[in-house]
Structure 1
Amino acid sequence: MADLLVIVPSRGRPESVARLVDAWESTGAYERARLAFAVDGDDPCHAAYEGQASDRSLMVTLPRWLPMVHKLDRVAAGLAVDHFALGFAGDDHVPRTVGWAGRYVDELRALGTGTVYGDDGYQGAKLPTQWAMTADIVQTLGRMVPAPVEHLYCDNSVLDLGRAAGCIRYLPDVLVEHMHPVAGKAADDDQYRRVNSSAQYARDGRAYRRWLRSGLHVDAARIRELRR
């Protein structure tokens, strides 16, 4: 069994699966990690996802649409017991550095309990738009994203928790490129427009700020206890 399971929630973009599988092959990621796509059973493109996935990729189908973070948390909580570490990547994250998965695993084993992230080619150290964390964090919190958001601010909360618990590490020599419209690396589509709408920002912003006020110190204390 692979040390690291990287979960990629996706909807309506089966073409991204082929690009991601190719990137995993070319960077040797399958030597240390396993790739899992989390897709919706009611996605009109569901059959196309099944046709694109590699033999070494796991396809997890949820009954119907869920927001990205809910989908990620549900899959991560169910599979955490079977892996040393769990990672998140969007379907628009493309690994470029050969051996990146091994670096993630080795750095996490050195931390014992913690989170690592690489350069996404846009945010750099400022934000872990893609990350991996030890499974004991997921098991302890019951989720992979600390803040109870749907999509936005999930990476902010991962960084906040890692800093508060003293267990997050940035790897500047590992590039997992974020092919996002904001970075000028992809065209906008209905999925991007929905999750970057003013309503989504308002809803997730409220949830994130509530967690900062009342949840961060509790979650950080639990992770610090794990590290002891």
Structure 2
Amino acid sequence: MADLLVIVPSRGRPESVARLVETWEATDAYAHARLAFAIDGDDPHHAAYERQASAQSLMLTIVRWLPMVHKLDRVAVGLATDYLALGFAGDDHLPRTPGWAKRYVDELRQMGTGIVYGDDGYQGERLPTQWAMTADIVQALGRMVPAPVEHLYCDNAVLELGRAAGCIRYLPDVVVEHMHPVAGKGVDDEQYRRVNGRAQYDRDRRAYQRWRRGGLRADARQVRELRRQS
């Protein structure tokens, strides 16, 4: 059994599967981690996703459409007891550094309880657009993304939690490149436009700010207690 499960929520982009599998194989990630695609049962491209997946990857179907963070949380909570750590990646995150998965696992084992992230080639240390955290955090909080957002500000919330609990570590020599249109590395499509629209920004910003005011302190306290016990 791999120590790390990296969950990739996706919709409408079955071509991303083969690209991710290729980069995982090229960086020897399958030796230490498992790749899981969380897709919607009503995705018109559902069959194409299954055809593209490798035998080493999981294809997890959510019965009905859910926002990205809800899909991520559901899968993470359901599988938290099976792995040392759980990771998130978008379907546009491509690992570039050989041995990156082993590095994540080694760092998290050393930390006992914690969060790690690498350089995405755009935000760098400023924001963990892709991350991995020890499974005890997911179990304690009952979710992987601490703030009750749908898509945006999830990386901000993870960074805030890690800093408040003193358990987040940036690995600048580990590159997991974010092939996003904003970074000039991807093509805009319907999914990007939907989740980056003004209504989504406003809704998630309000949820994130409410959590910062009322939930961050309690969540950080729980994680600090885990650290004392680990």
TM tier, smaller: over 0.9
Question: Are 1:197 and 2:228 an aligned pair?
Answer: no
Question: Structure 1 CA distance, aligned partners of 2:196 and 2:62?
Answer: 23
1:138 is displaced (CA, Å) by: 0.2
Amino acid at match of 1:13: R
How far apart are 1:177 and its partner, in Å? 0.2
Letter in 2 for 1:33: A
Give the Cα–Cα distance (whole angstroms) in 1 for the partners of residues 167 and 194 of structure 2: 33
Give the 3-state SS of the residue equivalent to 2:79 in structure 1.
helix
Tell me the CA shift for residue 114 of structure 1: 0.3
Amino acid at match of 2:38: A
Over aligned residues, Cα RMSD in angstroms?
A: 0.3
Which residue of 2 is the match for residue 139 of structure 1?
Answer: 139
Do structure 1's residue 174 and structure 2's residue 177 form an aligned pair?
Answer: no
For 1:57 and 1:173, the matched residues in 2 are separated by 26
Q: 1 CA distance for matches of 2:173 and 2:36?
A: 24
Q: Deviations over 1:29-54 (max 9, x none)?
A: 00000000000000000000000000
Q: Aligned partners of 1:53 and 1:130: how far apart in 2?
A: 21
CA separation in 1, counterparts of 2:199 and 2:40? 23
In 2, Cα distance between the equivalents of 1:136 and 1:100? 21
Distance 2:22 2:64 in 1: 28
Determine the structure 2 residue equivalent to 1:154.
154
- Take 2:25 and 2:227, find their aligned partners in 1: how far apart are those partners? 34
**Counterpart amino acid of residue 17 in structure 2:** V
Which letter does structure 2 place at the counterpart of 1:165? A
The amino acid that maps onto 1:23 is T
* 1:43 equivalent in structure 2: 43
Aligned residue number for residue 225 of structure 1: 225
Deviation at 1:71, TM superposition (A): 0.3
State the secondary structure of the residue aligned to 2:129: coil
Q: Tell me by how many angstroms 1:142 deviates.
A: 0.4
Q: Report the number of matched residues.
A: 228
Matched to 1:160, the amino acid is E
Percent identity at matched positions? Answer: 80
User: What do residues 107-141 of structure 1 show as CA deviations (whole Å, max 9, x unaligned)?
Assistant: 00010000000000000000000000000000000
Partner residue, 2:113 = 113
CA distance in 2, matches of 1:187, 1:5: 27
Give the aligned partner of residue 27 of structure 1. 27
Written as runs of structure 1 = structure 2, the 5 A alignment for 1:200-215 is: 200-215=200-215
Partner Cα distance (1:57, 1:227) in 2: 31
- Partners of 2:148 and 2:114 in 1: CA distance: 20
Unaligned 5+ segments in structure 1 are none
Measured in 1, the distance between the counterparts of 2:52 and 2:95 equals 18
SS of aligned partner of 2:105: helix
Residue 55 of structure 2 corresponds to residue 55 of structure 1: yes
Partner of 2:186: 186
Q: Distance in 2 between matches of 1:65 and 1:96?
A: 31
1:192-218, Cα deviation, whole Å (9 max, x unpaired):
000000000000000000000000000
- Where do 5+ consecutive residues of structure 2 fail to align? none
- The TM-score with structure 1 as length reference comes to 1.00
- Superposed structure 1 runs of 4+ greater than 2 Å apart: none
1:64 Cα deviation (Å)?
Answer: 1.3
How high is the TM-score relative to the length of structure 2?
Answer: 0.99
SS in 1 for 2:16: helix
